[in-house]
């Protein structure tokens, strides 16, 4: 939907952790230069699954320096809290702190009762080693697992706080507690569609007057012993290649699957009145959003319909020609890319009448719930300048008749739509433009 209130929502700060870079400007530079972050996996054993390569956020170590400038007290608090944060939650908290710092929305500039958090996440799996000691206690002499021993002998070996490390509502919880943000707090868990859905909720919350500012983000990882195993068993992953940087091939005729990755990004969204009153630098304005869920019961083209619904909803009454570019989901699977392309044709017309289409997934694959926000940050950074081409798109699939960006000379325009979808047909899209 398009804005229905005069209370405009603007973006005043961003933070990002990605396989390519942990700085918004560096991320855009890497995308324009065609860099790839797909490399041999280090967090998942190689040689035991169908793939050995992915896009890890190697620049994020979890050290307190990754959280940006913090006072000593907050540094100590986050260090202590990291004991009950898994990697996905750590990344989510880090980008929130980076976004807050970048926005200048410090304690003196914000009303803590009207500043909150809306965060996207996915279900987070425990690492197997969390249960290793307990399982060993329940192994019989013949090597079989005795479930009868678990309650009395196995479970006591599990850290009683282990669940706090993996609850998907914890990123929003930690961010609010560390920064004393007492306003609305919400967690959105719709896999790849989480970022757009979180931004939509944030927009709605601010426009209806329930908050003046919100930290909005998403975090996710598909690089995890169990998560990667699930993906390899349930989804179409790209085949390992001698040059792993060519594995993710969105919309290319030779594409054969997605690539697993990890990352997070966040932004500070504020009412335009507050942002201007405090003299904040405004990076962009949220002007449209949509969400939709179209499942397999709708037929073989359910993903196409989900894309159509959110593209139309985010566009609203705006002139299609005002859209500078579309940041596509671009999963690099045969079915998803084809149906996304068909949706773009249905909403924007044939190739010559479409906005340029790009996607960052050729550079770093599918980052799960964090991917949508990283992609939004990349497109936001590009506004007013040149766009980044789709990496590894050597021959456009005739079944994907999109106006694919193939060079760094294509203007990004002053407005974009970014969309994402889950394998189950949950989709979201947002429309963001340069502020004027």
Please give the structure tokens belonging to residue 305. 């319909």
State the pLDDT confidence band at 2, using cuts at 50, 70 and 90.
very low
pLDDT (average), residues 213-232: 93
pLDDT (average), residues 270-297: 97
Instruction: State which fold the 9-125+166-433 domain adopts.
Output: Peroxisomal Thiolase; Chain A, domain 1 (3.40.47)
Instruction: Name the residue among 213, 186, 211 with its Cα closest to residue 270.
Output: 213
Show the beta-strand stretches assigned E in 272-423.
284-293, 325-327, 357-358, 415-421
Q: What is the pLDDT of residues 301-337, one digit of tens each?
A: 999 999 999 999 999 999 999 999 999 999 999 999 9
Helix, strand, coil in percent for the chain, rounding step 5: 40, 20, 40
Q: Comparing 60-64, 67-71, 225-229, which segment has the lowest mean pLDDT?
A: 225-229
C-alpha 176/C-alpha 169 separation (Å) is 11
pLDDT (average), residues 168-192: 97
Q: For position 7, what pLDDT does the model report? A: 84
Q: For position 178, what pLDDT does the model report? A: 97
Residues 6+ apart with CB under 8 A from 364: 18, 19, 20, 36, 37, 38, 55, 248, 259, 261, 263
Asked whether 217 and 171 are in contact (CB, 8 A), the reply is yes
Q: What is the pLDDT of residues 111-142, one digit of tens each?
A: 999 999 999 999 898 888 889 999 999 999 99
Place of tokens 């797909």: 38
Q: For position 47, what pLDDT does the model report? A: 84
Please give the structure tokens belonging to residue 113. 């009762």
Q: For position 48, what pLDDT does the model report? A: 81
The separation between CA 26 and the C-alpha centre of its own chain, rounded to angstroms, equals 17
Residue 431: enclosing H or E segment and its boundaries?
strand 426-433
pLDDT (average), residues 240-249: 96
Is the predicted pLDDT of residue 1 greater than 70, yes or no?
no
Q: For position 4, what pLDDT does the model report? A: 44
Q: Where are the domains of the chain?
A: 9-125+166-433, 132-162
Cα atoms in the Cβ-side hemisphere of radius 13 Å centred on 307:
29
Q: For position 99, what pLDDT does the model report? A: 98
Place of tokens 């997934």: 361
β-pair partners for 396: 252
Q: For position 49, what pLDDT does the model report? A: 81
pTM of the model: 0.95
C-alpha 330/C-alpha 405 separation (Å) is 12
Q: For position 5, what pLDDT does the model report? A: 46
CB atoms within 10 A of CB 366: 30
């Amino acid at each position: 939907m398009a804005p229905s209130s005069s209370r405009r929502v603007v973006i005043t700060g961003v933070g990002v952790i990605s396989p390519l870079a942990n700085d918004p400007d560096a991320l855009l530079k890497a995308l324009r230069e065609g860099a790839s972050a797909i490399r041999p996996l280090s967090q998942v054993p190689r040689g035991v699954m169908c793939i050995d390569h992915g896009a890890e956020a190697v620049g994020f170590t979890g050290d307190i320096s990754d959280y940006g400038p913090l006072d000593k007290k907050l540094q100590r608090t986050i260090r202590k809290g990291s004991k009950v944060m898994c990697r996905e939650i750590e990344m989510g908290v880090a980008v929130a702190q980076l976004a807050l710092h970048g926005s200048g929305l410090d304690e003196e500039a914000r009303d803590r009762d009207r500043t909150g958090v809306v965060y996207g996440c996915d279900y987070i799996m425990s690492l197997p080693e969390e249960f290793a000691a307990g399982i060993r206690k329940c192994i019989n002499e013949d090597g079989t697992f005795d479930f009868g021993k678990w309650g009395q002998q196995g479970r006591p070996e599990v850290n009683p706080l282990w669940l706090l490390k993996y609850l998907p509502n914890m990123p929003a919880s930690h961010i609010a507690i560390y920064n004393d943000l007492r306003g609305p707090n919400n967690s959105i868990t719709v896999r790849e569609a989480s970022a757009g859905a979180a931004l939509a909720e944030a927009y709605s919350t601010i426009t209806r007057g329930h908050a003046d500012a919100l930290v909005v983000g998403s975090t996710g990882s598909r690089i995890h012993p169990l998560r990667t195993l699930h993906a390899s068993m349930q989804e179409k992953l790209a085949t390992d290649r001698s040059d792993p940087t060519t594995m993710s091939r969105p919309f290319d005729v030779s594409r054969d699957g997605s690539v697993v990755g990890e990352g997070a990004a966040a932004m500070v969204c504020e009412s335009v009145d507050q942002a201007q009153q405090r003299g904040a630098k405004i990076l962009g304005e949220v002007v449209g959003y949509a969400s939709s869920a179209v499942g397999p019961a709708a037929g073989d083209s359910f993903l196409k319909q989900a894309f159509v619904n959110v593209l139309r909803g985010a566009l609203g009454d705006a002139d299609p020609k005002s859209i500078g570019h579309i940041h596509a989901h671009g999963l690099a699977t045969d079915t998803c890319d084809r149906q996304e392309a068909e949706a773009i044709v249905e909403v924007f017309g044939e190739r010559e009448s479409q906005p340029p289409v790009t996607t960052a997934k050729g550079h770093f694959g599918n980052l799960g719930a964090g991917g949508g926000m990283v992609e939004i940050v990349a497109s936001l950074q590009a506004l007013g300048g040149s766009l980044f081409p789709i990496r590894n798109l050597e021959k456009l699939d005739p079944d994907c008749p999109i106006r694919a960006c193939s060079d760094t000379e294509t203007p990004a325009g002053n407005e974009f739509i970014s969309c994402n979808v889950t394998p189950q047909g949950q989709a979201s899209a947002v429309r963001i433009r340069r502020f004027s």
